[in-house]
Amino acid sequence: MTQAINSLYRQLPSIDRVLREPEIISLTARHGQTRVVDILREMQEQARFNIREHQTLPEWSDNWAAPLRQRLEQDQMSALKPVLNLSGTVLHTNLGRALLAESAIDAVTQVMRSPVTLEYSLDGAARGHRDRALADLLCTLTGAEDACIVNNNAAAVLLVLATVAQGKEVVVSRGELVEIGGAFRVPDVMVQAGCRLVEVGTTNRTHLKDYQQAINPETGLLMKVHTSNYSIEGFTAEVSGEELAKLGIASQIPTAIDLGSGSMTDMAQYGLPVEPMPQDYLSHGIDLVTFSGDKLLGGPQAGIIVGKKPWIDAIQRHPLKRALRADKMTLAALEATLRLYQHPEQLRQTLPTLRLLTRPQDEIHDMAQQLLPNIQAYYSDKFIVRDEPCYSQIGSGSLPVDRLPSWALTFTAIDGRGSTLEKLAHQWRNLNKPVIGRLYDGRLWLDLRCLEDGSALFQALFS
């Protein structure tokens, strides 16, 4: 036995010999010798293990190039893989939220390829401020006195609290102490910002007098949090932004509102549910408003703070601002997105988020009927495939109760087993371009709201 094993060991080629093979030379030229040699050594060790444990050479022992190529190609695959989002959630947090407009993509490409005036003033060849150009644009769009941009809305809230109310009390309605994705909770942010939370009112009802009674010499901020990821219905009451602003002015205490989803346009004009806008709260006299860039705004991940200039100046000077600031690519994409709002008559066509949210159900239905015959025929041996009406959701904590009429392709397993549907969903997730659907009510649903090119689904499923 030992003699046979030693004979197998002797059949393993040296690394130098493998590297001289024509196919390996080609792979080395493309991927670099260092990585190729590392993988070949791993393969050699795998071959030795196979001989020790099974007394045989691995199947690929006469063709090292094939498994090497496969390993190298796997290494080159991006961790951020493009997918087809047919989940029924337009702003899907796990899939990157808002799709950027073409102008934003072009803007990011430009600043990646060239030095830019990120913090450079062309007037005096001195250091400028990276937020300045966007702040001016945000002021024009919202009526704010000034603005500040950080890397996400959680950072925006943290920075506001740390600047305005560190070491002091922050008064918030008990019904607005939200938790968002990743167990991110408003009370926890307050602790990190060095604030003391004061809860007022009840879960379902908070009145202005609750805020008034909580005010004392230690009060640093009156705050309202828009409950964008859940809804309380029935016997409810809340303090409006206008009421809170008046109380803050009368009490000489700053006020802030965290909008979260951050719509910058009146959604009702597009037949969508109404969502509060920062410009509304600013007009009421609220000092600071925070919101996201990558939700209803339709831009990149960013946290936007708009409001009174003295407070924005203080925020810009805070040591945390440098740690939380946005990079040049985010700023470029955000500026290009905001400029689309200067042409509201074209916004529905130029902003992908708004275009997807406003797609008519009839249009989506037509696409479903066009796709159905070929997909039905391909999967007919194991699944009943139908086109059915459904409801999409906006997602990312925006308008949690409201749904958008849509249309889907549904797959029902002929054998009636849920495991058959789960296997199909798993297969789709492992395609060259993964297809992300939704398992619900004993069926696998492909909501077509976010599919603007039907051929992309064919290519993903059948190529």
| Rounded (5°) CA angle 127-129-134 | 145
Question: Which CATH class, in words, describes the domain spanning 102-345?
Answer: alpha beta
Distance CA 198, CA 223 (A): 10
Q: Could you read off the pLDDT of 424-435 as tens digits, one per residue?
A: 999 999 998 999
Distance CA 22, CA 19 (A): 8
Distance CA 147, CA 60 (A): 61
Distance CA 180, CA 294 (A): 15
pLDDT exceeds cutoff 60 at 182? no
Q: What is the mean pLDDT of residues 98-113?
A: 96
Contact 57, 5 (CB under 8 A): no
The pTM score is 0.87
Q: Residue 14, SS3?
A: coil
Q: Whose structure tokens read 């831009």? A: 299
CB atoms within 10 A of CB 107: 21
Q: Could you read off the pLDDT of 6-49 as tens digits, one per residue?
A: 888 888 899 999 999 999 999 999 999 999 999 999 999 999 99
**Which comes out higher in pLDDT, residue 191 or 99?**
99
Q: Could you read off the pLDDT of 39-72 as tens digits, one per residue?
A: 999 999 999 998 888 888 888 888 899 999 999 9
CA dihedral in degrees (430, 435, 437, 439; nearest 10)?
-20
CA distances in angstroms from 275 to 197, 279, 280, listed in the order given:
27, 12, 11
The confidence band for 179, taking pLDDT boundaries of 50, 70 and 90, is: low
Fold match, 84-93+356-462 / 102-345? no
Percent of residues, the chain, with pLDDT higher than 90: 70
pLDDT exceeds cutoff 80 at 208? yes
Contact 274, 267 (CB under 8 A): yes
Contacts of 36 (CB under 8 A, 6+ apart): 19, 24, 27, 28, 68, 72
Number of residues that this document lists for the chain? 463
**Architecture of the domain whose range is 84-93+356-462:** Alpha-Beta Complex (3.90)
In 3D, which of 351, 385, 365, 456 has the Cα closest to residue 84?
A: 456
Q: Residue 169, SS3?
A: strand
Percent of residues, the chain, with pLDDT higher than 70: 94
The confidence band for 125, taking pLDDT boundaries of 50, 70 and 90, is: low
Distance CA 191, CA 196 (A): 7
State the pairing for strand pair 219-225/184-185.
unpaired
- What was the pLDDT predicted at 75? 83
* Residue ranges covered by each domain of the chain: 1-76, 84-93+356-462, 102-345
pLDDT exceeds cutoff 60 at 1? no
Q: Which two tokens stand for residue 368?
A: 């479903």
